[in-house]
Structure 1
Amino acid sequence: MKTFILIPLLLLVISVAEAQTNYVQISTAKGKITLMLYDETPKHRDNFLMAIKTGLFNGAGFNRVIKGFVSQAGELDKTILDREKLHPEVPLQRVEAEIRPDLYHKKGALGQGRNDNPEKKSYLDQIYLVEGKKRTAAELDRIETKTGRKFSAVQRETYKTIGGSPELDGDYTIFGEIVEGISVAEAINSVPTSSTDLPLSLLKFSLRILTKAEIKKLKK
């Protein structure tokens, strides 16, 4: 049965990759990661591209690493919220939620962080890479019972064979995924951390938007 489920899953991944038009490369001391941004989440895609172009992520690093869950990068919640408290007269800047059931927290997914706002709007400059872990059918059943959300057959198979963090589905916007460098992302998620998940040494990164020629080569 698994063979018949995995074949359409693989075809779906290939077709999605062919359709997307924007790719970004993360360079770290651990290596490079190539991200495919989803055209289905245009507000987050465009915000991320603009943040890169304007240098919003300059000097940023992976600042919170929860092993087997996610690797968070960019600005910390506290810094963002403290800055906003200093200027309550300035309207909060957020990216409107673009949460879709077909874009979920599988291993290698790219998400946008947020605070506990009811609209589930995202921060402008905080991202995370999903590490997660493989889940059993019983674990997925428990998450469904707790959240009231149902996983599709494809999602269940993905979470059981590839892994991820399904408990985050429906609460945060996923707007891309890793297409190269998954082992680098695994290395980042394995760095030594404190008891509060702070990396003992900040792993800085730089971001670069791939050119059309590079994307064409990548898709071959």
Structure 2
Amino acid sequence: MEDEMPDVQIPSSGMETKDLSHIKTLKQEELMPFLENYAAENPENKIQIETEFGNIIVQLYDETLYHRANFIRLAKLGYFETCLFHRVDPDFVVQAGNSDRVLTRDYRKAIGRYLIPSEYTDTYPHDYGAFAAAKYKKQNVSNASSPFEFYIVTKKDGAHHLDGEHTVFGKVIEGMDVAEKISAVDTDASEWPISNIDLKVKVLQ
């Protein structure tokens, strides 16, 4: 049986609150022009994910404009600092961008309920080290992406059954050993790590 990406889960409980009134709440109909403008004003395409196991450096693809711009925006807003690596499937993927914390939920509400149109291209398949967007599976025939969750492919020969279904918008250029360490942690039956794996995302350039 092939591995499948799970439905994106909505966080529910457990962290301090924060004033998020400065965040513009996006609606689907304004998403693309907003991200186009944001991409032009924020051209960074390299990020560092900091974890207790070390750092992972990712090169984001300029061609996947909407995914890159959205990810850079969330990083600059501090969203990922509320999140965890919340899913570990050994020899497949490690996934982050969610948690069961109240602050994660509050950030999502402030940022907005929208989907990012698929930008998948055969140029960027699900090879080992691919950096890709999770998605809501139900009623999502267009394979649009969740704006919040991402995963890294840790399967040595890739996860090519996901090609076309998820947008690959970057690649790990340093730190796959860190992703492998995360891939080896103990999890519960839902693939949630037994011990929290916090992360911070720093925009490099």
Q: Per-residue deviation at 1:175?
A: 0.1
Identity %: 35
1:193 and 2:187 equivalent? yes
- SS, match of residue 150 in structure 2: strand
Q: Per-residue deviation at 1:195?
A: 2.1
1:164 corresponds in structure 2 to 158
Distance 2:53 2:99 in 1: 21
Distance 1:209 1:41 in 2: 17
TM (norm. structure 2) is 0.70
Cα pair 1:76 1:126 within 8 Å, conserved: no
1:74 corresponds in structure 2 to 97
Instruction: Determine which of 34, 43, 55 is the counterpart of 2:78.
Output: 55
Q: Which amino acid aligns with 1:62?
A: F
Cα pair 1:21 1:39 within 8 Å, conserved: no
The CA deviation string for residues 80-128 of structure 1, in whole angstroms up to 9 with x for no partner, is xx99xx9xxxx84111110101111111110011011111111111010
1:5 corresponds in structure 2 to none
- SS, match of residue 66 in structure 2: helix
Cα pair 2:92 2:159 within 8 Å, conserved: yes
1:203 and 2:197 equivalent? yes
Cα pair 1:68 1:132 within 8 Å, conserved: yes
Distance 2:99 2:77 in 1: 19
Q: Per-residue deviation at 1:76?
A: 6.1
2:155 corresponds in structure 1 to 132
TM (norm. structure 1) is 0.65
Q: Per-residue deviation at 1:183?
A: 0.4
Q: Which amino acid aligns with 2:131?
A: L
Q: How does 1:82-121 map to 2 (within 5 A)?
A: 92-116=113-137, 117-121=140-144
C-alpha RMSD over aligned residues: 2.3
Q: Which runs of 5+ in 2 are unaligned?
A: 1-42
Structure 1 stretches of at least 4 aligned residues deviating more than 6 Å after TM superposition? none
Q: Which amino acid aligns with 1:73?
A: A
Distance 2:114 2:182 in 1: 29
